[in-house]
Amino acid sequence: MLRFLLVCCFFISFQNHAQNRQKIDSINKLYVQGLNIPQDSIVAIFKKNAERANRIKYEKGEADAYFQLSLVYGYQGKYDLSTENSIKAIAIYEKLNLMDRIADFYAESGYSMKYNDLEKAMKTMQKGKAIAEQNKLDTILKDVYNNYGVLKEINQELDSALYYFEKGLAIKQRHNDTIGIPYSWSNMAGVYGLQGNFEKSREFFNRSLNQRLLWADSLGIAENYTQLGEVFMAEEKWNNAIPLVHQSLPISIKKQYKNLTQYNYKLLSDIYKKLNNTDSALYYFEQYSAVKDSVHSIKVKEKIAALNVEYETKKKQNEILKQRAQLAEKDLEVRRKNTFIFGSLGLAFLLGLLGYLLYNQQKLKNRQFQKEAELKSALAKIETQNKLQEQRLRISRDLHDNIGAQLTFIISSIDNLKFGFTDISEKLGNKLSAISSFTSQTIYELRDTIWAMNKEHITFEDLQARISNFIEHARIASEKTNFTFEIASTVNKNHLFTSVEGMNIYRIIQEAVNNALKYAEASEIKVLIEAKDEKFVLKISDNGTGFDEKNSSGGNGLNNMRKRASDINADIKIASTPEKGTSVTLIIKK
């Protein structure tokens, strides 16, 4: 009876273990680019899968989850996290001697670093290609050849690129790889475009797009829209290219594919520049710069280098440990004989623990259900935040593209009125000039508002760039005035303000400088930002005509500054002496 109970318990445990492995493998086989859920949710799924595999000591499943995480982070432009997870994966693959996974790892790692270090990317991919060819791993080679062709294309070796694309396509068609075939078509189309064969390029891109639309491959669809836009750009058909890039952009933003997002912004900026639409060109270039700075930071590159050094060091240490393990093997053989004797005693102890383990397993299941519920709640919250961010971007685009364009049209129309009618009176001409000037100022204020809307937080560094740009415009408008702008070394430039706080601070500085230029006739204006006693102190001073504080009502400008300071719970002090100048001091608590 006791033996039967033990066999039953063992069978149940083995069956649960096998089912858990199947579940882990099925999640790891998910096609990352084809998942139509937010990228942060995909990260959470594979993190949880890695934890589940680790919990049941399923090393291959854990490594596959890390490998998928490295791909997701790569698409997001988080190269340090991508490198960190890929190193975790390869360490386990090498330990298990899984040649197909090792080949795939080196191939994907090389491909992911193509824009950071092309020479190193080539060498890493060649290592993966050699392992796959040596072991005749067709399922790996079909993607390796395709991605290796991309590196050849980047290196301007177009004939070699086409050769590898065709080799990869042949294997995919042989295995009926309906998801992979569109990638080969897209890459071949890109080479045809570079060779000037635009019709053939467009034909292959459309083949790829139609296949991806059937599979709802979001990232692939976004890439094809961008690529078709590039073909029209190469033919200088700018108006045909614009809608295609605009179809790609919201998909790449939603899927957090930062490399494609920044590339789309750059293409739109270049197109609008060619069409002499300077407002739109500037807007999309600013968006491109913001995404580019977040992806290609020096800190990320330094962290990747450090991770690679750490991996190489650990690898050497493991080789030393392996040699020691071989020496300890003989000693272990002797211990095994002794262990067998004690094993019988341990069996009795294990039977006693069996009931406890079954009880504990049930508790773990309950805890797992609770965590899954928490994860679903977190995913829902993330999705809501993504929708809010998309709405902010849409509103800012509408403000810029619609209202900005309408204001520009008003300025153009007023200028046409002034120069189109020779008999306009001086009073009416002055009135039209005033309206044109006011409309131009409104456009600048609209850009500042869009700038603040597109940021969840604003740092002193962001303010410095914006204020410097404003002062540069002021310097051009008033050549006789000497401007000085300084941020003290004690100020933490990375301190975060909300977008509302940052915008109000910027407007107060802008108002004070404008007052000094328009009314005080100042020859010197100084803007100084300091940190004192857990406070930030912003001082705008001038040597202008000043005014009598006792006999002055303040005017709209001064009242606006006081209102903005009150809105962000800051103190403002305005001091002025006739013929000696004015100073505006804004004190913000940290």
Non-local (6+) Cβ contacts of 111 within 8 A are: 121, 125, 147, 150, 151
pLDDT at 322 (0 to 100): 63
Q: Show the 3-state SS of 138-171.
A: HHHHHHHHHHHHHHHHHCCCHHHHHHHHHHHHHH
pLDDT at 325 (0 to 100): 62
Residue 163 has pLDDT above 90, yes or no: yes
The pLDDT of 512-517, averaged and rounded, is: 85
Reported as a pLDDT band with limits 50, 70 and 90, residue 121 is: confident
pLDDT digits (tens, 9 = 90+) for 568-587: 899 999 998 888 899 999 99
Average pLDDT, the chain: 79
Quote the Cα angle for 377-378-381, to 5°. 90
pLDDT at 313 (0 to 100): 53
Per DSSP bridges, beta strands 482-487 and 524-532 are parallel
| C-alpha distance from residue 278 to each of 237, 414, 417 (Å) | 18, 19, 23
Q: Is 98 helix (H, G, I), strand (E, B) or coil?
A: coil
pLDDT at 265 (0 to 100): 92
pLDDT at 299 (0 to 100): 45
pLDDT at 247 (0 to 100): 92
Reported as a pLDDT band with limits 50, 70 and 90, residue 302 is: very low
- Residue 126 burial (C-beta neighbours within 10 Å; 0-12, 13-18, 19+): middle
pLDDT digits (tens, 9 = 90+) for 63-108: 888 888 887 887 777 878 888 888 888 788 878 888 888 888 788 7
The pLDDT of 474-494, averaged and rounded, is: 82
Reported as a pLDDT band with limits 50, 70 and 90, residue 401 is: low
In whole angstroms, give the CA distance from residue 80 to residue 74.
9
pLDDT digits (tens, 9 = 90+) for 316-352: 555 656 666 666 666 676 677 667 777 767 776 777 7
Find residue 538's DSSP bridge partners.
Answer: 529, 586
Residue with the bigger pLDDT between 174 and 441: it is 174
Q: Are 486 and 527 in contact (CB under 8 A)?
A: yes
Query: What sign has the CA pseudo-torsion 508, 512, 514, 515?
Result: positive
Non-local (6+) Cβ contacts of 122 within 8 A are: 110, 151, 155
pLDDT at 320 (0 to 100): 57
**N- to C-terminal Cα separation, the chain:** 73
User: DSSP states of 380-393 as a string?
Assistant: HHHHHHHHHHHHHH
pLDDT digits (tens, 9 = 90+) for 5-48: 444 444 445 466 677 888 888 888 786 665 667 777 888 888 89
- When mean pLDDT is compared across 9-18, 85-94, 492-501, 515-524, the lowest value belongs to 9-18
Q: Are 527 and 466 in contact (CB under 8 A)?
A: no
- When mean pLDDT is compared across 214-223, 408-417, 478-487, the lowest value belongs to 408-417
pLDDT digits (tens, 9 = 90+) for 172-222: 989 888 888 998 998 898 889 888 899 998 999 899 888 888 888 888 888
| Region of residue 554 (phi > 0: left; psi between -120 and 50: alpha; otherwise: beta) | left
Residue 68 corresponds to which tokens in the numbers above?
Answer: 């998928």
Nearest CA among 82, 92, 24 for reference residue 53:
24
CATH T-level assignment (fold) for domain 457-589: Heat Shock Protein 90 (3.30.565)
The pLDDT of 147-164, averaged and rounded, is: 90
pLDDT digits (tens, 9 = 90+) for 44-60: 888 898 899 899 889 88
pLDDT digits (tens, 9 = 90+) for 212-259: 888 888 888 888 899 888 889 988 999 999 999 999 999 888 888 888
Reported as a pLDDT band with limits 50, 70 and 90, residue 109 is: confident
Reported as a pLDDT band with limits 50, 70 and 90, residue 412 is: low
In whole angstroms, give the CA distance from residue 221 to residue 183.
10
The pLDDT of 496-520, averaged and rounded, is: 86
pLDDT at 569 (0 to 100): 92
In whole angstroms, give the CA distance from residue 327 to residue 335.
14
Residue 157 has pLDDT above 70, yes or no: yes
The pLDDT of 299-305, averaged and rounded, is: 47
Reported as a pLDDT band with limits 50, 70 and 90, residue 440 is: low
Rg (alpha carbons) of the chain, rounded to whole number: 32
Reported as a pLDDT band with limits 50, 70 and 90, residue 1 is: low
Non-local (6+) Cβ contacts of 149 within 8 A are: 160, 161, 162, 163, 164, 165, 168, 187
Non-local (6+) Cβ contacts of 432 within 8 A are: 414, 417, 418, 424
Reported as a pLDDT band with limits 50, 70 and 90, residue 303 is: very low
Q: Is 492 helix (H, G, I), strand (E, B) or coil?
A: coil
